[in-house]
Amino acid sequence: MNSLRTRLLVAAALILIAFGSLTGLILDRSFQNGMLQAQEDKMQTLVYSLLGAASSDAFGDLTIALDAVPDPRLRQPLSGLEAALFNDDAVVVWSSADFLRLTPPAMPEVGEWRFERLVDPNAFALSFGLRWIDSADDPRRYTVVVLEDANAWDRQLVAFRRTLWLWLGTTLIALTLALLLLLRWGLKPLRLLGRELQQIESGQQPQIQGSYPEEIQPLARDLNTMIAAERSQQTRYRNALGDLAHTLKTPLAVLRGMTAESGLEAGFRRQLSEQLDRMQHIVDHQLRRAAAAGTRTLTEPVLLHGLCEKLLGAMAKVYADRSLRVENAVPGDLRLRADQGDLYDLLGNLIDNAAKYGNGQVRVSALSGSRQCLIVVEDNGAGFPPQAEQLLQRGARADQRQPGQGLGLAAVAEIVQAYSGRLLLDRSALGGAKVIVALPLR
């Protein structure tokens, strides 16, 4: 449900289904009520025709001549239409050719109609109460009952429902497909904008270049402004850092040259050298910290395998006297969206430490998950001391026998922190140190 098209389509489909179901139920109920009213009207007409053919017999009772009834089905057995005449005692005094012997119906009042659906048998029943006054002025109470088989009525209703839901279902499917095409056409500018952003991230184009509807134009314009501002800011930072490094380089070199003068006392020379080294370390630290690009929105992904291959090849030449054995286990298609200079510094420090403090074997591997990328650098040296976290502080060193200032892991920690990642120090299966860098994926 993170897709706008899916959300809109699901919401519209639910509305269409609810509307179609409600419409179908209303039409079905209306049609059923109309059929019931038509059935009742038809049976009332038949009752009137029966009363029109009624007359008194020799005993004064009401009777109906079947020959005078307009509907011939009353004279045919098993026709599905039956009629009977009950007296005031609920006794049949007249019936059609095939009237069923039913339980005497409830006698409606004179002049009242009673229409109902019977379950057994499956038929409609219409009763009418009347009072017949013969020539002797002797009023008698009668009830006319007409039964008609409901199977044909049920078949007609089933056929209507089948046609109704078939056409409603077809209409809903057609409307859903039309809505899908409409959403696809309406959301096309957003898809094009997302595709352009992917091309910007991959370095295929410098900014958003497409023409978009007026609702999206401000967004595209603001994105272009943000991209230009980010690149300009990054350029200014790098230029300022370069100028700062160049500006401080000459004064530090002059001061360091002064320490070589023979007239200085040994103690003063040593103190001056220590302070110069400290100044140099501070400058390097601040330059490296400011130069760390950190997580940026639109950067081209870096292919890690090639980067590690270059660094491992360079370290193999630097430490050629140790017959360094390097292993690049990084997948060839693994890409990480980060600044290439930051990755050079991060991997370069880790590989340099592994080559310097290991016993000739360095292995680099990586694994990409759904949320983060793990970069692992291992060696076969002595490993980390028990309080390995102290090595993340600037100037802390695990091996005092090797030359160095203890800035490698601290610089790596600063870069990882700039990317909101994690740095773990562990024991390697090779027997030495194992550094795990977890960088979030975007």
Handedness of CA 270, 275, 280, 282 (dihedral sign): positive
Q: Which of 414, 433, 413 is nearest to 425 (CA)?
A: 433
Q: What was the pLDDT predicted at 418?
A: 80
Report the predicted TM-score, pTM, of the whole model to 2 decimal places.
0.51
Alpha carbons 337 and 293: distance in angstroms, whole number = 12
Strand ranges, E, within 204-310: 302-303
Q: pLDDT, tens digit, for every residue of 388-419? A: 666 665 444 444 444 443 456 877 888 888 88
Percent of the chain exceeding pLDDT 70 equals 83
Q: Cis (ω within 30 of 0) for the bond into 331?
A: no
**SS3 helix, strand, coil % of the chain, rounded to 5?**
50, 20, 30
CA atoms of 231 and 279, how far apart (whole Å): 31
Reported as a single tens digit per residue, the pLDDT across 304-347 is: 999 999 999 888 888 888 888 999 999 998 888 887 878 888 99
Q: Does residue 193 or residue 404 have the better pLDDT?
A: 193
pLDDT of residue 309: 92
Nearest to 153 by CA among 45, 23, 43, 25: 43
What are the tokens at 213? 């509807």
